[in-house]
Amino acid sequence: MKIKLIYPGWPKLKNQTEFNLPPHGPVVFAAALPAGVEIEFTDENMQSVNFDDTADLVCISMMLTSQVKRGWEIADNFRARGQKVLFGGISTMLHAEETLQHANSVFMGEAEGHMEEVLADLQKGRLKKLYNFMGKQPGTQLIGPARRDLLERDLYYHKGVQMVDLFHASRGCKFNCYPCAVSFLGGRNFRARPFERIAEELDTIDNNRLFVVDNTLAQDKEWTKELFRTMIPFRKKWCSHTIHDDPDVLDLAAQAGAWYVYQAVFDTSDYIKERVKRYHDHGIGVEGTILLGMDNQTEDDIKRLLDFLGEINLDLAEFTVLTPFPETKSYDDMLKEGRIFDHDWNHYTADTVVFKPRHMSPERLQELYHYAWDSFYATESQEQKMFKLMMKVVEKEMEDGTYRKPRKDLMETSFGKTLDR
Amino acid sequence: MKTDDKYVDRHYHFKGKWDVPGLCGLKIVRKAGQTVVIATNLYDENPGTSISRWSAQLADSVCRDFDIPPGELLFIERNPDIHSRLAFYQETFDIVSFDRVDGRFANPVWKRISHEEVDELTGK
């Protein structure tokens, strides 16, 4: 059986330096397919989709809301050629009703332990319109090492430097944050993978730098400490979302190779200032993630927040505007109050205002969003700051002997394209 | 959410979006010609769909399970104060009005009201 697995492209944030990471969802899904299935993978951010190709099943894996319209186009094209199309992934779950109109089948939930049933139905000519496994999460011991062998690895290099590989050690989230849909998608229970399975997967990753994409590393202190103890022997360097604010945990994180974290900066409190300092005290860099347009933010609040960023020595900052993604409380609130004026999912990139903010016009919030990027990077560009952060990891790697020189054969390329010098 | 909450008399289990089990708080006040139902979002205690996303279906199942004539229902959605520093987790009440389509509630529209108005409606 042949499966054509496609990851639709999406528009990148206009202000952000372009970089492309190897996709995670599709290769995790591929690991859930039975042995012997032939899989051909296309990441449309890097490669063209070959619509003339045939397969027993076209699987479209979607992560972002801004991918769904392109995913539907791809499906419509394949289905017009008589191909069967199955959708899955995070944004499929967020947009399932609409996606059903473009699919032979939609898979809801996590794939592990269920794909044998789906493929058996396909072979019998009885593919169901909907496979609904929402709320029936599989045991995390079933999550196998992601099929990174399906990736065309040379595409994920910039000037000879390999991009981080994505990796996850847990699913679900006990928190239920205002702009986030994770609790809908992965359940409200923290579900850890067994440490032996984590080690097994780490051992397969031919990359000394990772992005640990767990929703947060602040859900279970003892588990997080054990995770870091598991990671230490692999000597990877990695970035992640928030880490538990505890000196023992941060010590272990540093030993396990913590490079930098994405830390939400949501106010100008001493708590945030000290939080950032504690990461830095452990040699861990901080990329602030700053969400603009919350209901408690006036224009002055946003300007004060931007001034504050200059005081807390962030290594990098990424600004987004609040975006009411389906299945979040922000979506519920905005919908109830009739404040969403743009329902074009292509605009749900978190750099475009699609709702009426509480304390300013949409246009003013859009201006402040651009002003935020410009002001933070006014004296030192994003590339310069990224270079500094890169040097920090290079120093660490030099010290412990894990540094890999950039690949000479890819020095003149960036994400598969020849550099225009 | 404790059931001694002024606006929660019982917990109510419902089948939410994609059949995922959900849980909300309920207070039902029956008056002549009108039954006021206050449905409370339980946030972290609710394993499934939020009541805002499922209000029409929730109103249907509450009417069915508690013998409330649909024409007599006054449905109020409550988001309780969870004592967060974030303003959008303060207590809110909305009257939810629906169309009737094929014998079911549909097309919810929310109208914010104060807790004083809620108390007046429930006679408390």
Whole-angstrom distance, CA of residue A252 vs CA of residue A394: 20
What pLDDT does residue A188 have?
81
Q: Do A128 and A36 belong to one domain?
A: yes
* Closest chain A residue to B107, measured at CA: A336
What pLDDT does residue A420 have?
78
Q: Do A119 and A168 belong to one domain?
A: no
Segment holding A123, helix H or strand E:
helix A115-123
CB pair distance less than 8 Å for B88 and A333 = yes
A413 within a domain of the structure (yes/no): no
Burial of A288: CB neighbours in 10 Å, binned 0-12, 13-18, 19+? buried
Q: Which positions 83-122 of B are in contact with A (Cβ < 8 Å)?
A: 85-89, 94, 110, 112
Whole-angstrom distance, CA of residue A279 vs CA of residue A157: 28
A93 within a domain of the structure (yes/no): yes
Q: Do A158 and A242 belong to one domain?
A: yes
Q: Amino acid identity, residue A87?
A: F
Q: Nearest Cα to A230, choosing from A257, A260, A261, A250?
A: A257
**CB-based contact A235:A397 (threshold 8 Å):** no
Whole-angstrom distance, CA of residue A268 vs CA of residue A304: 8
* Closest chain B residue to A187, measured at CA: B47
What pLDDT does residue A26 have?
98
Question: Tokens for A308?
Answer: 């504050």
What pLDDT does residue B43 have?
86
Encode burial over A176-196: b for 16+ CB neighbours within 10 A, e otherwise: bbbbbbbbbbbbbebbbbeee
Who has greater pLDDT, B10 or A182?
B10
A49 within a domain of the structure (yes/no): yes
Q: Do A116 and A184 belong to one domain?
A: no
- Find the CATH number of the domain harbouring A109: 3.40.50.280
Chain B hits for A134, CB-CB cut-off 8 Å, are 17-20
| B50 in reach of chain A (CB within 8 A) | yes
B43 within a domain of the structure (yes/no): yes
CB pair distance less than 8 Å for B19 and A108 = no
- Find the CATH number of the domain harbouring A193: 3.30.750.200
Question: What is the interface pTM, i.e. ipTM, of the complex?
Answer: 0.88
Whole-angstrom distance, CA of residue A325 vs CA of residue A192: 26
Q: Nearest Cα to A164, choosing from A13, A24, A41?
A: A24
B108 within a domain of the structure (yes/no): yes
Q: Cβ contacts of residue B16 below 8 Å, gap of 6+?
A: B22, B48, B49, B53, B54, B57
Q: Nearest Cα to A254, choosing from A238, A242, A275, A265?
A: A238
Lookup result for tokens 């995670």: A24
The domain total for chain A is 2
Chain B nearest CA to A376, separation (Å): 25
Chain B hits for A178, CB-CB cut-off 8 Å, are 86, 88-89
A304 within a domain of the structure (yes/no): yes
B5 within a domain of the structure (yes/no): no
DSSP A31-81: HTSPTT-EEEEEETTTS---TT---SEEEEE--SGGGHHHHHHHHHHHHHT
A348 C-beta neighbours (distance < 10 Å), count: 24
Interval B13-17 mean pLDDT:
94
Chain A hits for B85, CB-CB cut-off 8 Å, are 267
Q: Nearest Cα to A25, choosing from A121, A191, A194, A143?
A: A143
A418 within a domain of the structure (yes/no): no
**CB-based contact A225:A243 (threshold 8 Å):** no
What pLDDT does residue B61 have?
97
What pLDDT does residue A88 have?
98
Q: Do A109 and A213 belong to one domain?
A: no
Report chain A residues touching chain B, CB-CB < 8 A. Answer: 96, 108, 132, 134-135, 174, 176, 178, 184, 187-188, 267, 294-296, 327, 329-330, 332-333, 335-337
Chain B nearest CA to A98, separation (Å): 14
B110 within a domain of the structure (yes/no): yes
A293 within a domain of the structure (yes/no): yes
Question: Tokens for A164?
Answer: 């981080």
Q: Do A50 and A124 belong to one domain?
A: yes
* Closest chain A residue to B92, measured at CA: A333
Who has greater pLDDT, B46 or A210?
A210
B4 within a domain of the structure (yes/no): no
Q: Do A262 and A317 belong to one domain?
A: yes
CB pair distance less than 8 Å for B19 and A132 = yes
Give the torsion through C-alpha atoms of A28, A32, A35, A38, to 10 deg: -60
Is the predicted pLDDT of residue B14 greater than 70, yes or no? yes
B3 within a domain of the structure (yes/no): no
B88 within a domain of the structure (yes/no): yes
What pLDDT does residue A187 have?
83
Q: How confident is the model at residue B4 (pLDDT cuts 50, 70, 90)?
A: low
Is the predicted pLDDT of residue B87 greater than 80, yes or no? no
Q: Do A390 and A290 belong to one domain?
A: yes
Q: Do A118 and A22 belong to one domain?
A: yes
Q: Do A159 and A56 belong to one domain?
A: no
* Closest chain B residue to A137, measured at CA: B20
Q: Do A151 and A117 belong to one domain?
A: no
A420 within a domain of the structure (yes/no): no
Is the predicted pLDDT of residue B30 greater than 90, yes or no? yes
CB pair distance less than 8 Å for B18 and A174 = no
DSSP A332-371: HHHHHTT-B----GGG-SSSS--B--SSS-HHHHHHHHHH
Chain A hits for B44, CB-CB cut-off 8 Å, are 174, 176, 188
CB pair distance less than 8 Å for A135 and B110 = no
**CB-based contact B93:B76 (threshold 8 Å):** yes
- Side by side, the strands of the sheet bearing A417-418 are A161-162, A157-158, A413-414, A417-418
Interval B25-45 mean pLDDT:
94
Q: Residue A287: give the domain boundaries.
A: 146-400
When CB atoms are compared, the residue of B20, B88, B94 closest to A134 is: B20
Q: Residue B39: give the domain boundaries.
A: 10-122
Q: Nearest Cα to A392, choosing from A258, A291, A271, A296?
A: A258
Q: Cβ contacts of residue A107 below 8 Å, gap of 6+?
A: A86, A87, A88, A92, A114, A118, A131, A133
Which of A135, A163, A190 is a domain's end point?
A135
Q: Amino acid identity, residue A126?
A: R
The domain total for chain B is 1
Q: Do A126 and A176 belong to one domain?
A: no
Chain A hits for B49, CB-CB cut-off 8 Å, are 184
Is the predicted pLDDT of residue B3 greater than 70, yes or no? no
Backbone phi and psi for residue A61, each to the nearest 5 degrees, phi listed first? -105, 125
When CB atoms are compared, the residue of A188, A267, A332 closest to B53 is: A332
- Interface-testing mutation among B1, B14, B20, B43, with chain A (most A C-beta atoms within 10 A): B20
**CB-based contact A261:A242 (threshold 8 Å):** yes
pLDDT values of chain A reduced to their tens digit, one per residue, 421 residues: 999 999 999 987 776 677 899 999 999 999 999 999 999 999 999 999 999 999 999 999 999 999 999 999 999 999 999 999 999 999 999 999 999 999 999 999 999 999 999 999 999 999 999 999 998 899 999 999 999 999 999 999 999 999 999 999 999 988 878 889 988 888 888 999 999 999 999 999 999 999 999 999 999 999 999 999 999 999 999 999 999 999 999 999 999 999 999 999 999 999 999 999 999 999 999 999 999 999 989 999 999 999 999 999 999 999 999 999 999 999 999 999 999 999 999 999 999 999 999 999 999 999 999 999 999 999 999 999 999 999 999 999 999 999 999 999 999 999 999 997 6
B117 within a domain of the structure (yes/no): yes
Whole-angstrom distance, CA of residue A147 vs CA of residue A30: 6
